[in-house]
């Protein structure tokens, strides 16, 4: 999660909502990224979707059954659905999002019984550090 926080700080510096993601396979980091919605002018450039795309290219497979993804904020519904469709083994996130989180806070897309795959979810790892960075970002946005 520390590496995901480093990615989130890069996003912060780039003027993006500071969410970072890191992919791990066999206890080895294989990819890192952060939100790039503003840079790419694409609503789908969330860190989770970008990391799924990177990893799929690295391992030459869309099925990410051996991949764990660390992300600094609970994935939204779109990202949670992508984690399910990519067959991600486990997602570990920092701060929860009770308003729109898709891994159990607002919705439980990753654990919904009718899905073809369920993603293991580990919640609130380094929660306060992740929350602090997001809050700092939005305080600056409100000042502008």
Query: Do the Cβ atoms of 4 and 48 come closer than 8 Å?
Result: no
Task: Using alpha carbons, select from 70, 51, 73 the residue that is nearest to residue 134.
Answer: 73
Rounded-to-integer distance, Cα 113 and Cα 52, Å? 23
48, 65, 124, 132: which is the annotated catalytic residue?
48
User: Is-catalytic flag, 6?
Assistant: no
Q: If you search the block for the tokens 């897309």, which residue do you land on?
A: 109
Q: Where does residue 70 rank: exposed (0-12), middle (13-18), buried (19+ CB within 10 A)?
A: buried
Q: Catalytic positions, please?
A: 48
């Amino acid at each position: 999660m520390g590496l995901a926080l480093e990615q989130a700080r890069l996003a912060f510096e780039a003027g993006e909502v500071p969410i970072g993601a890191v992919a791990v396979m066999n206890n080895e980091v294989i990819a890192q990224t952060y939100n790039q919605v503003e840079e790419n002018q694409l609503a789908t450039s969330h860190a989770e979707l970008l990391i799924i795309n990177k990893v799929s290219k690295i391992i030459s497979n869309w099925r990410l059954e051996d991949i764990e993804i660390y992300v600094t904020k609970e994935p939204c519904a779109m990202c949670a659905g992508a984690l399910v469709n990519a067959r991600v083994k486990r997602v570990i996130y920092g701060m929860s999002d009770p308003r729109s989180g898709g891994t159990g806070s607002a919705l439980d897309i990753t654990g919904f019984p009718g899905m073809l795959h369920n993603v293991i979810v580990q919640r609130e790892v380094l929660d306060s550090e992740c929350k602090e960075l997001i809050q700092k970002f939005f305080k600056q946005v409100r000042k502008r």
